Amino acid sequence: MIAHYAPLSFKQRLSSDPSGVRVIIWVLLLGVAINLARKFFQYPAVTLKNTPYNPVPEDAFSGYIETPDNIRLRYARWKATAHPAKGTVLLLHGRTECIEKLFETVSDLRKRGFEVLTFDWRGQGGSSRLIQNKLAGYIDDYEDYIVDLETVFQQVALPDCKAPYYILAHSTGGLISLLAAPRFANKVRRMVLSSPLLGLENRGLPQPGIRLLSGFMSAIGLGESYLGSGSTPAESSSFAGNIYTSDPERFDRNRRLVEDFRELAVGGTTAAWVFATCQAMELVHDMDFYTGISIPSLLVLAGNEQVVSNQAIEELGARLRAGSTLTIDGAKHEILQEHDIYREQLLAAFDSFIPGSDETGP
């Protein structure tokens, strides 16, 4: 005769096996400890480069997060130093740049009562590099950059940073912001875009020719090859004749960063990056796309621009239903790395465009 036994319930199994209860309790406590450590015990020394000539702003929280496609992104955030806190600025840098280059601007924003969240795009700074040549500027689809922005917003901004949210972006960061804008309509209140990459300044081959050449190279398997420049980072060039800033001290600071921390450096663009950029710029200028951008946006032009097309910026600024433009005469491409006379004009524009930021702290 075969005996039949009623299966034990989960509660009965636990009561009959005290050691199992202890294991579950320890697992739960470990999970709580990990979450607390992530929230309260992140230190700038873990991921940020601190130097006497470019010190990390105080009270930084930094670390790494992972995107859905398994890319590791380095991020950093700071609380405001003036009160009351007015929200959070997502500070988005351009191609080749890294978090360390933004420390001065981070401090400017904190004094205005804003929390600051920034990160390195995939392929640069302290985030995952995408191809074997780690100095090459590479991407094959700007959708990947949008994944980076969405990941940081979901995993860091929403749980750890005060709303409302604003964007202050430069160059490539400005292009990515506009591409992401339709998806962030109910998340980001306003955007200030400095020298956004909406067209290439004509310095030889016109943009249609650049698109054709980069597309051809990508199609025949040369997407990872340099196009237009080599492995030397722009910051390693001499100050004389540079097209990025007229401020020798800030130029020298950025040059030293690249020389002291080669792992943060990025060199020239690859054919794939150029082709993806041309496609992204075309999309932003498409009427079916830009009519879906509803976030109020201020596009700031550098009067002495030699990298991106000011004409393209002015055209899109006029077409956006909530867009406006401002030109800072005399400034070169990297306005936030320029002389104070130019930087302060950009910050003043930010103050007047972003609600509440004109009430600066000490």
Do 154 and 121 meet the contact criterion of CB atoms below 8 Å apart?
Answer: no
Least confident of 24-33, 35-44, 84-93, 113-122: 35-44
Q: How confident is the model at residue 261 (pLDDT cuts 50, 70, 90)?
A: very high
- First vs last Cα of the chain: how many Å apart? 88
Q: Which candidate, 197, 170, 169, places its Cα nearest to that of 276? A: 197
Is pLDDT at 73 greater than 70 in this prediction?
Answer: yes
The answer on pLDDT for 358 being more than 60 is no
| 283: confidence class by pLDDT, cuts 50, 70, 90 | very high
Which amino acid is located at 240 in the chain? A
Report pLDDT for 45.
41
Q: Measured at the alpha carbon of residue 63, what is the angle toward residues 58 and 68, in degrees to the nearest 5?
A: 145
Handedness of CA 167, 172, 176, 178 (dihedral sign): positive
Inform me whether the pLDDT recorded for 5 exceeds 60: no
C-alpha of 162 from chain center: 18
Placement of tokens 């990298």 in the chain: 307
CATH class of domain segment(s) 45-353 = alpha beta
Q: Assess whether pLDDT exceeds 50 at residue 42.
A: no
Cβ proximity of 122 and 128 under 8 Å:
yes
Domain ranges of the chain: 45-353
Does the structure show a pLDDT above 80 at 361?
no
How does residue 225 score in pLDDT terms, banded at 50, 70 and 90?
A: very high
Q: How large is the average pLDDT for residues 176-189? A: 97
Q: Which whole number is the average pLDDT over 226-231?
A: 80
Q: What is the pLDDT of residue 229?
A: 76
167, pLDDT greater than 80: yes
Report the pLDDT value the prediction gives residue 238, as an integer from 0 to 100: 85
**55: pLDDT strictly greater than 70:** yes
Q: Round the average pLDDT of the chain to a whole number and report it.
A: 89
Q: What is the pLDDT of residue 23?
A: 52
Q: Kindly tell me if the per-residue pLDDT of 300 is higher than 50.
A: yes
Percent of the chain whose predicted confidence (pLDDT) is above 70:
84
Half-sphere exposure of 57 (CA within 13 A, CB side): 26
Q: Give the C-alpha separation, 174 to 191, whole Å.
A: 9
Residue 44 has pLDDT above 90, yes or no: no
Question: Structure tokens of 255?
Answer: 């040059």
